[in-house]
Chains A and B, each alone.
Chain A
Amino acid sequence: MGLEETVGQSALTTKIDAVLNWGRKNSLWPLPFGTACCAIEFMGVVASPFDISRFGAEVVRFSPRQSDLLMVAGTITHKQAVILKRIYHQMAEPKWVLAMGACASAGAFYDNYCTLQGIDQIIPVDVYIPGCPPRPEAVLHAVVELQKRIQNGEKPKGMQGAA
């Protein structure tokens, strides 16, 4: 994600990267891929008492082309999995993925014929949020965690090993 690839490493590009990362960190645009109960808690995260805009991530976009943070909130079934995968691939890089809740992280107690046992079977996940559903604070914690990584210049999981 750096400029280095094109112009090489220098003091200037390092500075620009830091500024870029700072910008990215504070203006994450989430795409809420909400399918189930966790999506209702996600609404809680957005609503005023918790207010995700305090962290600069309130510009919720339903178009993958306009978002850089995929928030998977809810159970992903095999029927849904193909859709999720497609949405992920439609997003421009750099892009991050949050797995909100036990279902998205590992299938939760739906250990059965139709439920995907965690979205990391099909797409890379940056941060997992435990809970069924997680509390809004936990979701905000995950956003802050992600912001730290972005500020530090860490690549998203999906781009690691790619370069």
Chain B
Amino acid sequence: MSTSDRIGRFLREMGEALEAEHNPYGEKSFRVAPEQIRPVLEKLRRDYGFDLLLDITAIDKIELGKAGEPRFDVIYNLRPHDTGDRIRLKTSVPESDPALPSVQDLWKTANWCERETWDQYGIRFKGHPNLKRILNHKDFVGHPLRKDYDIKKQQWLSEADDLMDEMEKKRKRTSDALSKETLFVNLGPSHPAFHGAIRILAELDGETIRNSVSEIGYLHRGFEKSAEKGTYTHVIPYTDRLNYLSSVSNNVAYCMQVEHMLDVEVPRRTQVIRVILSELARIMDHMVCIGAALVDLGALTNFWFLFNEREKIYDVIEALCGARLTHCYIRIGGLAHDLHDGFEAGVRALLQSIPETMTDVQNLVGRNRIFLDRVIGVGVISKEDAISYGFTGPCLRACGIPHDLRKDEPYYGYEEYDWDVVIGENGDTYDRLWVRFEEVNQSVRIIEQALSSMPGGPVNVDDKRITLPPKDAVHGNIEALMNHFMLIMNGVAPPAGDSYRAVEAPNGELGFLIVSDGSPKPYKIKVRPPCFMIFSAFDEMIEGGMVQDAIATLGSLNVVAGELDR
């Protein structure tokens, strides 16, 4: 079914329940009455193939000046897993009774998305089996993303949640469990394999995990609230710190979204530079994922190999922008500045050394019996479950689904480069790691072609509303000085409305839903963090397996806390 067919048929059949919403960005967004939302979503899921629920979030409209309207909008962001056919449904709920039916039985990922919307906005989802806070701690009072919650109002936690309430619910499902003698063990958050910010409470029968309850939010540092505080430009450094293994990808995703809202396209040279940097970021990200996963399996040498290579990439990027990890090099409408002279030579040297390092590592583990025994057939997830849990990126491709936004919804000329989408077969830990290995090689191919096709020209759009005037003009004439001043103080102001676009980040679909009220401050920014959805499947993936399998599985998912908890 093609895009227009699918949505056209849906509109014909469900037309009465929907009210098309004017969207200044030409995106498909419909309003649905609250009592209709579940039936409509059910239809979309069952009959029209919208099997990927990207995200659920809310908008607190209290400061939008729409008196008389209910206070909250709840947004469902959907697409079929194999196309870029996007659709958003919106429904309104009043402050007095902010409740909607849960859809966690239709999409498994809705479970966590709804919990987050409850935690942050106080929207209740009726029929949700476990509607408790997810990002904020258990003693937290109020809902921080409501506009009337003061950003600086901090709340202390007395002691960590013991998670036994969730555990007891789970244990009741398996009735024989209650009669057996089992042991409860906490893994994380301070645990070498749980990377400091993830925790699970596991019920062990010997070494087998019978039940597992995971807790996240240890690195919830308020990105979305902080992003509402300043101008659009102020948000860029925060995006560096979402998935900090590949900060450029976040910069690019965010700036691309804002540029889309401002209806400008960056010059071709900038597009090519962004592609090169995004692919380098993907390589760095995959290297840490593979390296850390192998350390957790006991193969430390690989980590040194990969980190040495990463240092070489750092050197090139540091020469470019002065930072090793948090680059903040992308700007709305272009780049902070053009490339330096040695950039191309630096990247060409990397293109030589990266494949060598990858081959070294592959040689170390590729036929290593211990490695293979620990990853093959471990942490398997089926295609259907992966989609239902909102998997995207390497973890989805490992299940054999050849979906990649760089191919299916190409941006920045990705369609012109010659490269392959890498897929796995079984959706196990081995496939997830191996897909990443191969993707590094594909990224190298893309970078090679991009470098050779690099055009000249400016790197910033020629638009006074967006790009700062050159420094000598600022020092030389009053008009440029005023322009500079206005841009620094106010920055850009996209037209009122909401918009969502996404890029293929190293972990999968990374998108920003931005709500603008027409002012120079973002009204709301919601990031769709790929690993949040992926990690929500973790409990199910490890239950029934051994503890050591859980460690191997986690390593292959590349859960990055900054992105997970935001």
Q: Which residues of A contact B (CB under 8 A)?
A: 33-37, 39-41, 43-44, 47-49, 62, 74-75, 77-83, 87, 103, 109-117, 132-133, 135
CB < 8 Å neighbour of B225 from A44, A74, A113: A113
Cα(A39)–Cα(B149), bound, Å: 31
CB-based contact B144/A114 at 8 Å: yes
Kindly list the 7 A-B residue pairs having the minimum CB-CB distance in the complex, ordered from nearest: A37-B244, A112-B222, A47-B307, A79-B137, A35-B196, A110-B221, A62-B192
* Distance from A1 Cβ to chain B, minimum over Cβ atoms (Å): 26
Residues of chain A contacted by B307 (CB below 8 angstroms): 43-44, 47-49
Nearest residue in B to A62 (C-beta to C-beta)?
B192
Interface residues of B in 147-190 (CB under 8 A from A): 149-160, 189-190
CB-based contact A49/B311 at 8 Å: yes
Stretch binding the partner chain, chosen from B9-17, B67-75, B212-220, B335-343: B212-220
* Distance from A105 Cβ to chain B, minimum over Cβ atoms (Å): 15
* Distance from B291 Cβ to chain A, minimum over Cβ atoms (Å): 9
CB < 8 Å neighbour of A36 from B156, B219, B314: B219
B286 close to A (CB within 8 Å): no
CB-based contact B326/A133 at 8 Å: yes
Q: A37-B326, A78-B156 in contact; A114/B196 too (CB < 8 A)?
A: no
Residues of chain A contacted by B135 (CB below 8 angstroms): 114
Kindly supply a per-residue 1/0 record for chain B positions 538-553, scoring 1 wherever the CB is within 8 Å of any chain A CB and 0 otherwise.
0000000000000000
Nearest residue in B to A47 (C-beta to C-beta)?
B307
Cα(A20)–Cα(B217), bound, Å: 41
Residues of chain B contacted by A110 (CB below 8 angstroms): 221-222, 226
CB-based contact A115/B195 at 8 Å: no
Residues of chain A contacted by B245 (CB below 8 angstroms): 40
CB < 8 Å neighbour of A112 from B156, B189, B226, B314: B226
CB-based contact B325/A133 at 8 Å: yes
CB-based contact A83/B189 at 8 Å: yes
Residues of B in contact (CB 8 Å), total 49
CB-based contact A113/B189 at 8 Å: no
Residues of chain A contacted by B154 (CB below 8 angstroms): 78, 113-117
Cα(A81)–Cα(B159), bound, Å: 9
CB-based contact A135/B324 at 8 Å: yes
Q: A44-B324, A48-B304 in contact; A33/B190 too (CB < 8 A)?
A: yes
Residues of chain A contacted by B153 (CB below 8 angstroms): 113
A-B contacts, 22 of them at CB < 8 A, read A33-B196, A36-B241, A37-B325, A39-B196, A40-B288, A43-B307, A47-B308, A62-B192, A77-B219, A79-B137, A79-B160, A79-B217, A82-B160, A109-B238, A110-B222, A113-B150, A113-B152, A113-B155, A113-B225, A132-B326, A133-B324, A135-B324
* Distance from B480 Cβ to chain A, minimum over Cβ atoms (Å): 29
CB < 8 Å neighbour of A114 from B136, B189, B562: B136
Nearest residue in A to B224 (C-beta to C-beta)?
A112
Residues of chain B contacted by A109 (CB below 8 angstroms): 226, 237-238
Cα(A81)–Cα(B160), bound, Å: 9
Q: A62-B192, A112-B222 in contact; A48/B152 too (CB < 8 A)?
A: no
Q: A37-B562, A48-B307 in contact; A113/B144 too (CB < 8 A)?
A: yes
